[in-house]
Amino acid sequence: MSVEPRLDLIALGEGMVEFGARTRGPLHRVRPYDVHAAGSELNVAIGAARLGLNVGWISRVGADEFGELLVNAARADGVDTSRVVRADDDPTGIFVVQRGYPVDGQSSLMYYRAGSAGSRLTASELDAGYLRRAEIFHTTGISLAVSPELAAAAREAGAVAAQGGARRSFDVNYRAKLWTSDAARPQVEAALAETEIAFCSLEDARTLWAVGDPEAALELLASFGPDHAVVSCGRDGAVMLGPDGVVVRSAAIPASVVDPTGAGDAFCAAVLTGLTRGWPAEVTLQRACLVGSIVCGVAGDNDGIPTLDELERIASTRWVYR
Ligand code: KDG
């Protein structure tokens, strides 16, 4: 009997097609759009695969053109999509990005995902044998927020993957358009209690727990249970706490922001790659900040994520990390 190989990472969550406004301004005046594959967990899967990990993505997409687009995008980077369910009756979700308006340098997202195929993934559609092959299982607060079915599927998948020996990775990824902070807090805390590697932006820590100091946010995250905690602080870089109790810091790499959406996912993919490949903690965090900054400068959630070779080349030409 052949034993299926382990996967470095399995990410679970809804993929979405992004319509990113090409021009700044209110969407009712925007005409041209760029179309990209997106969705937080899919971004992480694509990013980690591009950086060299062996990755699977679990999701549900419509049996429609946009479902095809997402699956093709994942496959193009070598992500295994064999456990992506095709739904005949539900459409693939989309979102539209308004850029640089009303606040310069910021984007806002409009979701068209109610009743989408991805929001209707159920625990009964999971392949337990596949999940047990994961070294790391990753999901985010978005999956908890989108629908009760998807939240239950994400929790069940994490539990099964952990039985198979996976470390569970969870990014808080609070989205105010999906739920309130009061609704999110208890569910996010419960997820963190069942997580080994936790990610949170300082902005989300502020929103959910009124914590605005990076190291206090790290401690808070770790207090829920994870042995690895990472807090991204935008233009102020990032901090990471490892199982050895050592806190590592990295400055942000200045970027001229074209599209910040997806930068947090790219950052997360790079941290998970560093942890998997045994990079030193400082290198892991610096590379993750660099990847996040590169992604901010490129349109699309994951289009700017470099391959490992590209990343090393870029790192060696930027004076900060020479
Ligand atoms: O992190 C990027 C995501 O916000 C984007 O891809 C859309 O998945 C998405 C969401 O639910 O916000």
pLDDT in tens, 212-224: 999 999 999 999 9
Q: Is the pLDDT of residue 98 over 90?
A: yes
Q: What is the largest CA-CA distance in the chain?
A: 60
Q: Is the pLDDT of residue 153 over 60?
A: yes
0.85 exceeded by pTM: yes
DSSP 20: E
Q: Give the closest residue to 15 by CA, choosing from 130, 113, 135.
A: 113
| pLDDT of res. 104 | 83
Instruction: Report pLDDT digits (tens) over 290-305.
Output: 999 999 988 899 999 9
CA–CA dist 201, 205 (Å, integer): 6
| pLDDT of res. 320 | 52
Mean pLDDT of the chain: 95
Instruction: Report pLDDT digits (tens) over 258-275.
Output: 888 899 999 999 999 999
Which residue puts its alpha carbon closest to atom 4 of ligand 1? 40
CA 282 vs. chain centroid, Å, equals 21
Beta bridge partners of 24: 99
Q: In b/e form, how buried is each residue of 238-260, taking b as 16+ CB within 10 angstroms?
A: bbbbeeeeeebbbebbebebbbb
Q: Is the pLDDT of residue 321 over 80?
A: no
End-to-end CA distance of the chain: 49
Q: Give the closest residue to 308 by CA, choosing from 147, 296, 279.
A: 279
CA–CA dist 97, 317 (Å, integer): 32
pLDDT average, residue stretch 3-20: 96
Q: Is the pLDDT of residue 155 over 80?
A: yes
Type of residue numbered 54: N
**40 pocket-lining for ligand 1 (C-beta < 6 Å):** yes
Instruction: Report pLDDT digits (tens) over 238-256.
Output: 999 998 999 999 999 888 8
The answer to whether 265 is a known catalytic residue is: yes
- Beta carbons of 268 and 238 less than 8 angstroms apart: no
**301 pocket-lining for ligand 1 (C-beta < 6 Å):** yes
**95 pocket-lining for ligand 1 (C-beta < 6 Å):** yes
Q: Alpha helices, DSSP H only, in the chain?
A: 40-50, 65-76, 128-131, 141-146, 148-163, 181-193, 202-209, 214-223, 263-277, 281-296, 308-317
Which residue puts its alpha carbon closest to atom 5 of ligand 1? 39
Share of the chain above pLDDT 70, in %: 98
Which residue puts its alpha carbon closest to atom 9 of ligand 1? 39
